[in-house]
Every structure is written in structure tokens, then in C-alpha cells.
């Protein structure tokens, strides 16, 4: 998998809603301190992610990577409802 995505490495976080202000109820929030350990990718790939549910705070619960997709345009991907 790393070989397929290593060319997408980015210098900074591509998301406008990060970092989170607190760790959250279970300490799982992505704070500025935790973000220092992250490797960010340019949003040019599409992954299929399985999950149990969306939380009230718009986070995915119990996620798992399913596949990297090459048949979707990253600019056209939206949250499914």
C-alpha cells in the first residue's frame, strides 16, 4: 500500500477542521500534539472505508480500510447519507 501512496505525501494537513480543541470523551480526538505524529497525504486518492456509524460529533466509529479505489474522481467524492 505504501508504494501506491508515498508520492502523495504532503507537508501539512489538508483539512480545514483540524486540529480538534480537545481529545474528546475517549481521548481519540486529533489534537495539535497528536498531529505532529501524522503523515499527511494530498487528497488525490480515494479509499473505501468500512465503519459502524457516524457519531454526533461527525466522526466515524469503528473504521477499517477496505480498498484504494481508482475509479472515482477525488474532487467528486462526498459524504454518503
Domains and CATH numbers, the chain: 2-76 (2.40.50.140)
How many Å apart are CA 80 and CA 2, to the nearest integer? Answer: 27
| Confidence tier at 29 by pLDDT (50, 70, 90) | confident
Averaged pLDDT, 20-41:
78
Is residue 35 helix, strand or coil? helix
- In tens, the pLDDT along 47-66 reads 999 999 988 878 888 999 99
CB 28 within 8 A of CB 57: no
Nearest 5°: the CA angle 47, 12, 49 is 15
Distance CA 13, CA 53 (A): 24
Q: Is the pTM for the entire model greater than 0.85? A: no
Amino acid at each position: 500500500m505504501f508504494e501506491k501512496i508515498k508520492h502523495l505525501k504532503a507537508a501539512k494537513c489538508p483539512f480545514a477542521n483540524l486540529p480538534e480543541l480537545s481529545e474528546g470523551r475517549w481521548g481519540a480526538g486529533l489534537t495539535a500534539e497528536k498531529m505532529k505524529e501524522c503523515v499527511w497525504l494530498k487528497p488525490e486518492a480515494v479509499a473505501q472505508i468500512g465503519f459502524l456509524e457516524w457519531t454526533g460529533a461527525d466522526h466515524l466509529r469503528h473504521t477499517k480500510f477496505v480498498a484504494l479505489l481508482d475509479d472515482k474522481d477525488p474532487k467528486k467524492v462526498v459524504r454518503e447519507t
